Amino acid sequence: MTDWTRGGLTGSLNRWVAKEVREQLRSNSLARRARYSWPLRAARWAFSAGSFWKFLALYFLVDLLMINVEAFWHGLASASIPTFANSAAASELMKNVPGYLIGAQIGLLSVISLALALVTLIAQRDDAATDVQVYYHESLFFEIMASCLALIAVLCAQLFWPLQFLYHLLGGGGQPALFKMSLLVLHLFWFLANLAAMAHFVGITFRFVQRRTREKLRESYTANVIVPMEMTARLRETVYSMAGAEALPVPAEEIHPVCFGLELHEPYAAELSDHFKRPTRIGDVRVRLAHWAIRRWRRRCGEEAAATARPLAHRSGPKLWFAMHIERAYRGDVAWCRREGGVPLDRLEKLALRLAFRFERATDAD
């Protein structure tokens, strides 16, 4: 039996698989040697937002948090605000530094011409698609560009401090300069992070034009991206089918009364169905929660059969089938929970199963 507690309180299939893949890669000496260094892993984590709008959304949350801190400070500890925050030197810093950062950030964006030249060069090769994909991933190209553009947008907007102006216009706060300076320090650290990431980008760009180092980058990409991705996909599929069989263990010669990822072609009653307007797949399964609902339903089936003195229709009893394959995208009307025999699922069991099966948009579907 699988120890689903490794997937957390509800037995998340994704968490279970992630731990298993991580442990297998750690025990593999070749995978350990090709693993990204910890500074690079930290950089990938820092730029994991990945898109322009996500960076802006994160900064917006930080700005709102700073306004709430200012309101709290003004109400309880306004006397402890240092006088430097309202000095002429602080005012000059807030006027001049954003302009310097905007100019420097725009200068960094000019480095994008290096990427365009390199992509034009390698696009002439037969295996250009693979090389371009490796280059974009290893250089953090899209993440760096999104972060740089987001910082420029933030710096331009914060020349007017719109949220702070609105807050003080409504009568809040009393000494806003300290908190504006705190955000200015955040802008400076963000710029330094972009600068370090751009240095990584330039280094990867110049390494990529050399055949020998390009081969090493391919190996690194394979070890850190392709292999874990394929292992995760295959293990998710295997563990998903096992989860159905483990819900209600039966002797080997009998048909499993619960199946995940197989369609029931016999006459059935649709217990749970949805209409997917866009291609949708199973994102995760809370296996322990699903098992609880399935076992509760099976127990009620046995109680109903005993109360009516009717034997079960099959040796394996009533069956419950979850028709969606975990790696396949679905669209339209899908009866993903089907029942043959037994009693219908009650509201609590349906709620538990809906919470257990988490769906997500299949962005890579045709």
Residue keyed to tokens 């699903």: 290
| Same structural domain, 83 and 156 | yes
Last residue of a domain, which of 174, 209, 244? 209
* Contact of 251 with 322, CB cutoff 8 Å: no
Tokens in use for 339?
A: 């029942």
Taking 60 as the threshold, does the pLDDT of residue 268 lie above it?
yes
| Dihedral, 11, 16, 17, 23 alpha carbons, nearest 10 | 180
| Same structural domain, 50 and 190 | yes
Nearest to 162 by CA among 183, 185, 193: 183
Q: Give residue 91's pLDDT.
A: 67
| Same structural domain, 186 and 286 | no
| Same structural domain, 200 and 332 | no
- Average pLDDT taken over every residue of the chain: 82
CA triple 127-129-132, angle to 5 deg: 110
| Same structural domain, 294 and 148 | no
| Same structural domain, 175 and 300 | no
Last residue of a domain, which of 209, 236, 268? 209
pLDDT in tens, 76-125: 655 555 555 555 566 677 777 888 888 888 888 877 776 766 666 665 66
Average pLDDT, integer, range 341-360: 92
Q: How many domains does the chain have?
A: 2
- How far is residue 212's CA from residue 242's CA, in Å, rounded to a whole number? 44
Supply the pTM of this predicted model: 0.76
| Same structural domain, 131 and 63 | yes
* Contact of 46 with 38, CB cutoff 8 Å: no
Would 137 be classed as within a structural domain? yes
| Same structural domain, 191 and 288 | no
| Same structural domain, 84 and 145 | yes
Would 9 be classed as within a structural domain? no
| Same structural domain, 153 and 268 | no
Would 119 be classed as within a structural domain? yes
121-125, 132-136, 157-161, 209-213: segment of lowest average pLDDT: 121-125
Would 270 be classed as within a structural domain? yes
Would 309 be classed as within a structural domain? yes
Average pLDDT, integer, range 189-210: 87
| Same structural domain, 319 and 180 | no
Would 10 be classed as within a structural domain? no
User: 3-state DSSP call for residue 257?
Assistant: coil
Residue keyed to tokens 């705190």: 182
Give the domain range for residue 84.
34-209
Taking 60 as the threshold, does the pLDDT of residue 315 lie above it?
no
Would 244 be classed as within a structural domain? no
Would 188 be classed as within a structural domain? yes
| Same structural domain, 298 and 160 | no
Q: Give residue 362's pLDDT.
A: 85
